[in-house]
Amino acid sequence: MSVVLILSVKGFAQDWQSFTTDNSGLPSNNVFSIDTDETGTMWFGTDSGVAAYNGLKWYTYSESSDLADKQVNDLGILRTSELWAATDNGVSAMDVSSLDAITMATPYRVDNTGLLSNRINAIAIDENHYRWFGTDSGVTVFSGSNWISTRTQNVVLRNDVMAIAHSPDSLVYCGTEGGGIARLKLSGLDVITGASTIERPWTPMPIDSVYAIYIGSDSVQWFGTTQGLFLHFGIDAKNNWWAFMPQNGLPHRMVQAITEDRAGRFWVGTAGGVSCIEGYFVSYRNYTTADGLIHDNVRDIVVAADGCIWFATAGGVSKFNPCVNKVQAYERLKAQSYNVLHIYPNPFNMSTSIEFRLEDGGEVDLSIYDVTGRRVCNLRRGHLDEGMHVENWDGKDDRGVMISSGIYLVRLATNKHISTGKMLVVK
């Protein structure tokens, strides 16, 4: 293990800061994975081992014989003390409760566990602390005492498993290389059930290679493929799809990372830069090396405890602070205290309720829009007193016609503020 103390690092731009082997303890600029633990320590998986940064010091773990392999493809953190590293030659479990005294267990491989293969592409840890490993031969799950695999459960997964994500309804989505998306479920009896698949010709996705999956806070599924970004709403695999591709503004068709920040913005890492998407494509902005990103090939993204966005790239690590201007951040937070919209249920099928609080009485306009910006209907226009208000929407437009499935925006405008929210209609 080696330790590097960083006294100061000059960013490429006011709101960007980048790290390479020249100014940090990264063992390599070829970074594949990034994660953060509950203490705020950042962890990085590279092609030359693992590094950690606690804001003051860098710690490098690249020479230990206990690391399964220096090629680290993905990282998973269980609470604050257990780090799992997926490599090309097995899995390493590390006790990271003390950065100065990291200990590693004997690497987990096919010959001493129930792993299907030593090539581990992806790791995900669910709410029950089960460790899910995506390999080039299927999925293996470790409960802490038992190893369960798709092969032993007679669940067929085709091709390499490149990405794993969990949904609130306990489904596990597995993205494969050429085999589409498999939906699995693990019962309390350590039994893997499934797999239903999302693949061509039953979806509008033009390709079945999926390298990134993210399940949003509203249960919308985001899939990163070699041909663009695809969103799916609900469980009907044939319907309710959206696409975001280079012709729509995506910086590159190869999507490798997806996450969501605290403000509800989605960050999409591609082989040609990053897209920050707000309001389900109501607006977006792309970032590349011209803006301060250290390299355009972005492989992983994580949101730190302080709200900063970290990017693992093929040329090092970049950190972006979306609230670098504290005055603007304060004004934004102050504005958010007014007219906050609460929508329930969401997603919904027949009707939903929109609740909001007015700090001051006055004229208001509450309307529903589709994602193209076209107004669908007006729910309230006129004077409202200060306090709590609830408006119900029956899913119909101004003509009384039931709207179709998809994402819709609700906009509340007063004399002082404008608030927006998003809704998902699933038929």
pLDDT digits (tens, 9 = 90+) for 188-218: 656 666 657 777 777 778 888 999 999 987 7
| pTM for this entry | 0.78
State how far the alpha carbon of 262 is from the alpha carbons of 85, 132, 270, 307, in Å: 26, 25, 21, 7
Query: What confidence score (pLDDT) does residue 109 get?
Result: 96
Query: What confidence score (pLDDT) does residue 64 get?
Result: 61
Amino acid at 242: W
Of the candidates 324, 318, 320, 322, the one whose C-alpha atom is nearest the C-alpha of residue 23 is 318
Query: What confidence score (pLDDT) does residue 62 get?
Result: 76
Q: What is the 3-state secondary structure (H, E, C) of 305-373?
A: CCCCEEEEECCEEEEECCCCCHHHHHHHHHHHCCCCCEEECCCECCCEEEEEEECCCEEEEEEEEECCC
Phi, psi of 426 (to 5 degrees): -120, 120
Compute the C-alpha angle 323/328/331, nearest 5°: 120
d(CA 249, CA 255): 13
Query: What confidence score (pLDDT) does residue 324 get?
Result: 53
Query: What confidence score (pLDDT) does residue 151 get?
Result: 73
Question: Residue 129 — left, alpha, or beta (φ > 0 → left; ψ -120 to 50 → alpha)?
Answer: left
Query: What confidence score (pLDDT) does residue 206 get?
Result: 81
Three-class DSSP category at 225: strand
d(CA 358, CA 366): 12
Query: What confidence score (pLDDT) does residue 419 get?
Result: 77
Instruction: Say which residue the tokens 């590279």 belong to.
Output: 46
The structural domains of the chain, ordered by start, are 2-327 (2.130.10.10), 337-425 (2.60.40.1930)
Contact in structure between 415 and 403 (CB atoms under 8 Å): no
Instruction: Say which residue the tokens 């940090």 belong to.
Output: 24
Query: What confidence score (pLDDT) does residue 335 get?
Result: 46
Query: What confidence score (pLDDT) does residue 242 get?
Result: 81
Query: What confidence score (pLDDT) does residue 141 get?
Result: 92
Counting as low any pLDDT under 70, the low residues of the chain are: 1-14, 63-65, 80, 152-158, 188-195, 279-283, 323-340, 372
d(CA 275, CA 257): 10
